[in-house]
A and B are shown apart, each in its own frame.
Chain A
Amino acid sequence: MTAIWAAFGLIFDPFVLMVIVLSAMFGLFVGAMPGLTATMATALLVPVTFFMSPVPALGAIVTATTMAIFAGDIPAAMLRMPGTPASAAYTDESFAMAKKGQLELNLGVNLVFSVVGGLIGVAFLIAGAPLLAELAINFSSFEYFWLACLGLLCAIMIGTGDPVKGFLSLFVGLAIGCIGIDPAAGFPRFTFGNIDLMSGINFIPTMIGVFAVSELMRGAMTVDEAGHMVQEKVGALFRGIGAVTRQYWRNVIRGSIIGTLIGALPGAGADIAAWVSYAMAKRFSKEPEKFGTGHIEGVVESTSSNNAALGGAWIPALVFGIPGDSITAIVIGVLYMKGMNPGPTVFLENPQFIYAVFIVFIIANLLMLPLGYAAIRGARRLLAVPKNILLPVILMFCIVGSFAMTNSPYGIVLMLIFGVFGWFLEEHGVPVAPLILGLVLGELLESSFMTSMIKSDGALIGFFSRPIAGVLGAANLAIWAIIIWKAAKSHRRAAVIEHADT
């Protein structure tokens, strides 16, 4: 109980509250600008929060991402351009509503149910994380090894269109993570005598490169293209929300639960949650034929879902140190930098930080109502910020931010290399999210693997010798079996079709 009071004390500090409000505005802006994502907002925030103590640093990230995921809905409805990929699933639906003259209803629903979904996600986080942490406290290297494998496997199965290229990206990420001092024997690997490389690949400049610089390179080509706004004035936002709630409350609940679960699965975040929930809403709807014509039902479910996913993603991140999405992947990097190694021990040693994260989540979602309302009102001016000014400014911010992470040009060099490399990979249909997850989880995976190998003296049966490790290991094998079975089936089908042709 004292920890909760301590957490309140940490949050209700003028500086922390100021950081929360400022990062809320930052999040709304970044989220509302098409082409700037919530992940990018987080990556850009990290250099700023680097010098803060853990609570304001985490508070800034939580608030900015919560706002950004909602704010992405604004240009989706007004310009038919999702502000963040998390709004892409229902952009066409929202725009169709705006064209029918239901812009106010759409934005009001997005705002209110983003808040509701977000709060439900947080409720799951508050209820679930401490329980899981109690279980995780007994985990040994075997369990962590299987958990990391399971996380990476999920990331590839759910998060990417092409599993083979997903695995390739993952292996590349893990291999990049090997650069530096190896965790088992302390031998410097792949450093070629370079002192900067000895410290390993710094995580934040890499993220800024992959998620921001590559995006800026793509954006630079279309800097002169702007969207067309359907309706410039926004009327009463909350009219009709009551009726929508009465009719579609089941969608809100289902969307929030699915969103939390998908968020909690490693590698899949708000964007995939929104797609799945939109599809589910259509599947279970009484009037699926209305979907795509400006029907509110799918919007209700998926806008709840993507905000719920944010809270869900923090569950594995805090409990196991395994990121639920690319935002929490950055968060884990921040936690390590602050000397708070994520894992069940944080719940024992620093419970006030965990409670502080919970409280910030609740504040951020409540703050979203007034600030989101203001953002919708000011959307016309917000969306008028020209890209050709924004792009150079963001680029310069990335450069200085990366420099600040290493206090040397090394950070900028990393950012440049990974910016170009990230662009190259995406250009070839290789997803970059597994690479980042591999980079984050590389050390956990390797050290738990090496420890387990040494403990069991190389006998793989040792990996299944403990009950929870056995279950997790079996789950891993089961997923592999499904993958291979599916691949074989589609192969055979292809062969049959070929036969039919000849």
Chain B
Amino acid sequence: MRLSDNWLALIFIALAAAMIGVTTTFPAFPGQKYGPALFPRILGAGMILCALLIMYRARQRRQEGASEPAIAVDPVFRDPVRLVSFLAVPAAIGLYLLLVDWLGFVPTCFGILAALMLWFGVRHMTALVVAVVMTGLLNWFFGTLMRVPLPRGLFMQLVQGG
């Protein structure tokens, strides 16, 4: 999926303008000429300048007769299976964020690993074994060895009885 250069530039102009807008709320310190707003404003101006150059080039290309659609969709994305595979990666991260505090690390990690592997066509038994082993390894390495406070959630409450 690809926006035309024009739209890309417009997005960044909007972002830069918003950023400069926010800097107007920054305080000025008496006696100091250069405050916290100066550097972000320079950056915002730089972003806008780059975006304008990109738009200018796009305009020149159009004048030479090239046409660019507002959105070009890569043919790969027209294949629904591949599209789901692609979306599965961010979706898995989102799902993890939603579930992990409630369910706990172990079941969430196992579930996501197993589901992804099954979707990518790993054989059932292999997927199950790898998911169990990897969940155990990650939990041991990060949770026990490196003392990362992985969310305990429902699972550990059940295991440890409260």
Given A168-B54, A407-B149, A428-B2, A189-B82 contact (CB < 8 Å): no
A392 touches B27 (CB 8 A): no
Could you say which of A136-144, A178-186, A266-274, A357-365 contacts chain B? A178-186
| Neighbouring A residues of B102 by C-beta, 8 Å | none
| B50–A164 CB distance below 8 A | yes
**Surface stretch bound by B, among A16-24, A334-342, A393-401, A460-468:** A393-401
Q: Which of A51, A165, A413, A453 contacts B34 (CB 8 A)?
A: A453
Flag if B3 contacts A171 (CB, 8 Å).
no
The answer to whether B44 and A175 have CB atoms under 8 Å apart is yes
A490 to chain B, nearest CB (A): 11
Main secondary structure of the interface of A (DSSP, over half): helix
Q: Does A388 contact B (CB under 8 A)?
A: yes
Tell me the number of A-to-B contacts counted with CB atoms below 8 Å. 164
Decide: B121 and A224 in contact? CB cutoff 8 A: yes
A154 contacts partner chain B, Cβ-Cβ < 8 Å: no
Chain A: CB-nearest residue to B94? A416
Chain B minimum-CB-distance residue to A169: B50
Q: 1/0 per residue A365-405: CB within 8 Å of B? A: 00000000000000000000011110111011101110110
B12 at the A/B interface (Cβ < 8 Å)? yes
Of all chain A residues, which has the CB nearest B27? A187
Interface string of B94-136 (1 = CB under 8 A from A): 1011001100000001001100110011100011001000100
Q: Determine the chain A residues whose CB is within 8 A of the CB of B101 once the complex forms.
A: 409
A223 at the interface (CB under 8 A from B): yes
Task: List A46-61 residues whose CB lies under 8 Å from chain B.
Answer: 47-48, 50-51
When C-beta atoms are compared, the residue in chain A nearest to B89 turns out to be A217
Q: Given A168-B51, A220-B88, A221-B86, decide whether A419 and B120 contact each other with a Cβ distance below 8 A.
A: no
Task: Determine whether the beta carbon of A175 is less than 8 Å from that of B96.
Answer: no
Cα-based distance from A80 to B152 in the complex (angstroms): 45
Give Cα distance in the complex from A433 to B75, angstroms: 27
Sort chain A's interface into a size bin: 35 or more
Contact of A164 among B35, B53, B147, B149 (CB under 8 A): B53
Asked whether any CB of chain A lies closer than 8 Å to the CB of B138, the reply is yes
Q: Does the CB pair B93–A407 fall under 8 Å?
A: no
- CA of A51 to CA of B148, assembled, Å: 10
* Contacts known (A395-B89, A454-B34); A407 close to B148, Cβ less than 8 A: yes
Please list the residues of chain A having a beta carbon within 8 angstroms of any beta carbon in chain B.
47-48, 50-51, 164-165, 167-168, 171-172, 174-175, 178, 182, 184-185, 187, 189-190, 213, 216-218, 220-221, 223-224, 386-389, 391-393, 395-397, 399-401, 403-404, 407, 409, 412-413, 415-416, 419-420, 427-428, 430, 446, 449-450, 453-454, 457-458, 498
Interface residues of B (CB under 8 A from A): 1-3, 5, 8, 12, 16, 19, 22-23, 26-27, 29, 32-36, 38-40, 43-44, 46-47, 50-51, 53-54, 57, 64, 76, 82, 85-86, 88-90, 92-94, 96-97, 100-101, 109, 112-113, 116-117, 120-122, 126-127, 130, 134, 138, 141-142, 146-150
Sampled A-B contacts (30; CB under 8 Å): A164-B50, A168-B51, A171-B43, A171-B46, A175-B19, A178-B39, A182-B36, A187-B35, A220-B89, A223-B85, A389-B127, A391-B116, A392-B112, A392-B120, A395-B93, A396-B138, A399-B96, A400-B138, A400-B142, A409-B97, A412-B96, A415-B93, A419-B90, A427-B1, A428-B8, A446-B39, A450-B39, A453-B34, A453-B38, A454-B34
Extra contacts, 15 of them, besides A172-B47, A388-B122 (Cβ < 8 A), are A167-B46, A168-B51, A172-B12, A178-B40, A178-B43, A182-B36, A185-B32, A187-B36, A190-B19, A217-B86, A217-B89, A217-B90, A221-B82, A391-B116, A393-B113
